[in-house]
Amino acid sequence: MAVVEELIRTDNNETLSFGNYKLDSKSKLDNFEFGGDLYKVKTFKEITKLERNGMFVYESVPGTAVSQLMVTDSGVTFQVEGPEDAQITLELEEQTEYKVLVDNVDAGQMKTNLGGKLSLSVELSEGSPVAVKIEKIG
């Protein structure tokens, strides 16, 4: 996996890839259509952020490259790569329990807050994508 030079793209398996942590200055792409929704991505070495229809979806500090992002009613899956460990925040259902798997290792259960935010830390190194799977419990 590598950075997404075009900032955001649709993959063959109908998932999204976005983010370029190698950029020195902020870059953004707005009004990217996917699945009937409009996406906006902002990315560079310090932060990567994705919005859908003006609503928060994903944020990482520092910036990351995300591939094969798939959001369903039961959770979210993606692969993430970056030059160093990252703090990732996702928007999910509020006040809901989720099981978190990082590289197929159970990282425990987490409950979203009133705003539906779930935050996790992921150990990253450049050139080695890490699989993240977050599944709703119940």
What is the value of pTM for the model shown? 0.94
Domain residues of the chain, as ranges?
Answer: 8-136
Alpha-carbon distance 73 to 2, whole Å?
A: 28
Q: Which CATH architecture has domain 8-136?
A: Sandwich (2.60)
Check residue 18 and give its pLDDT: 98
Residue-wise pLDDT tens for the chain (138 aa)?
A: 678 889 999 998 789 999 999 999 999 999 999 999 999 999 999 999 999 999 999 999 999 999 999 999 999 999 999 999 999 999 999 999 999 999 999 999 999 999 999 999 999 998 899 999 999 997
In one-letter notation, the amino acid at residue 109 is: Q
E strand or H helix that includes residue 59: strand 55-61
Cα 35-61-63 angle, rounded to 5 deg: 65
Check residue 77 and give its pLDDT: 97
Alpha-carbon distance 93 to 111, whole Å?
A: 9
Would you tell me how many other CB atoms lie within 10 Å of the CB of residue 1? 15
List all residues 6 or more positions away from 75 whose beta carbon is below 8 Å from its beta carbon: 92, 98, 133, 134, 135, 136
Alpha-carbon distance 65 to 88, whole Å?
A: 12
Alpha-carbon distance 64 to 45, whole Å?
A: 8
The 3-state DSSP class for residue 53 equals coil
Check residue 138 and give its pLDDT: 74
